[in-house]
């Protein structure tokens, strides 16, 4: 079966902050499915054109799950999350234990601002991914932590809940200064200033002269002043 290959963490959010800075949607399909043509349209942000191309492919491959999932992804990129949701739900009726499809649905629900439903669906996706080894399981787990962290930081403002999400991401990739920055923000907004200082200070020491080090230095000043986190978004601007 021809399966869509999605780059990890690229469809989680629009404007997802530092962790997703510079990320772009990547769609790779086997040549027989004219993947190059679709990829060019995606790269040009011609999502409507890419959608039409996938629909043409579905005429020759009716009911193909990978193509339908790709179609849903493209509807999300085209700011049509409800259409994406309908596609994902239809696919899940046939394969409810597919971790990626469950995450697709969680992401679409998030884009519809149905936060509690999105978090529940995300928990399902993470659970399913952890039950199996290999394939895209690890990537799915990473995406669930990234999206959950984003939701807790910028939607529900439950900063303490964001901390373990970013901490887990950092555990998986300790060298990612942008993830460490997000973790530091979560600590700061939760009022755990000493922990926040430790994360920001490490960024400055390990990344001298870089843009993120400058942001971290400003964040250190923020922590020292012990500002009310609800009155400033200055720490949320890195990478946007």
C-alpha 194/C-alpha 172 separation (Å) is: 23
C-alpha 98/C-alpha 229 separation (Å) is: 39
Residue linked to tokens 């920055």: 181
Tell me which CATH code domain 157-240 carries.
1.25.40
What percentage of residues in the chain have a pLDDT greater than 70? 78
| pLDDT of amino acid 34 | 55
Band of residue 230 on the pLDDT scale cut at 50, 70, 90: low
H-helix or E-strand spanning residue 5 = strand 5-6
CA 9 to each of CA 12, 21, 100, 169: distance values in angstroms, whole numbers, following the listed order? 6, 11, 12, 12
Angle between helices 65-77 and 47-60 (to 10 degrees): 170
Q: Which whole number is the average pLDDT over 116-128? A: 96
Q: CATH number for 1-140: choose from 1.10.10.10, 3.90.550.10, 1.20.120.330, 1.25.40.10.
A: 1.25.40.10
| pLDDT of amino acid 224 | 87
Cβ neighbors of 86 (< 8 A, separation 6 or more) are: none
Dihedral angle of Cα 198, 12, 50, 84, to the nearest 10 degrees: -170
Query: 3: exposed, middle or buried (C-beta count within 10 Å: 0-12, 13-18, 19+)?
Result: middle
Of 177, 137, 154, nearest to 14 (Cα)? 154
| pLDDT of amino acid 233 | 47
Phi, psi torsion values for 54, nearest 5 degrees: -65, -40
Of 122, 126, 146, nearest to 136 (Cα)? 126
Residue linked to tokens 């629909």: 55
In the chain, what are the domain boundaries? 1-140, 157-240
Q: Which whole number is the average pLDDT over 210-214? A: 95
Three-state SS at 27? strand
- Whole-structure pTM value: 0.76
| pLDDT of amino acid 236 | 45
């Amino acid at each position: 079966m021809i399966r869509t290959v999605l780059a990890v963490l690229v469809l989680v959010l629009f404007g997802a902050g530092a962790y997703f800075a510079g990320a772009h949607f990547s769609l790779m399909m086997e040549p027989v499915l004219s993947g190059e043509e679709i990829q060019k349209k995606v790269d040009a942000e011609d999502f409507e054109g890419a959608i039409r191309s996938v629909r043409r492919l579905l005429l020759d491959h009716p009911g193909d799950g990978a193509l339908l999932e790709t179609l849903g992804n493209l509807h999300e990129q085209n700011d049509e999350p409800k259409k994406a949701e309908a596609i994902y739900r239809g696919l899940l009726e046939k394969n409810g234990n597919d971790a990626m499809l469950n995450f697709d649905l969680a992401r679409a629900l998030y884009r519809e601002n149905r936060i509690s439903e999105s978090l529940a669906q995300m928990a399902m996706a993470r659970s399913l991914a952890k039950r199996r080894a290999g394939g895209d399981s690890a990537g799915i787990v990473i995406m669930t932590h990234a999206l959950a962290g984003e939701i807790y930081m910028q939607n529900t403002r439950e900063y303490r809940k964001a901390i373990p999400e970013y901490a887990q991401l950092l555990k998986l990739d300790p060298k990612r200064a942008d993830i460490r920055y997000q973790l530091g923000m979560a600590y700061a907004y939760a009022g755990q200033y000493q922990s926040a200082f430790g994360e920001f200070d490490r960024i400055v020491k390990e990344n001298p002269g870089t843009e993120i080090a400058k942001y971290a230095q400003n964040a250190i000043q923020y922590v020292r002043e012990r500002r009310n986190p609800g009155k400033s978004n200055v720490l949320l601007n890195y990478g946007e």
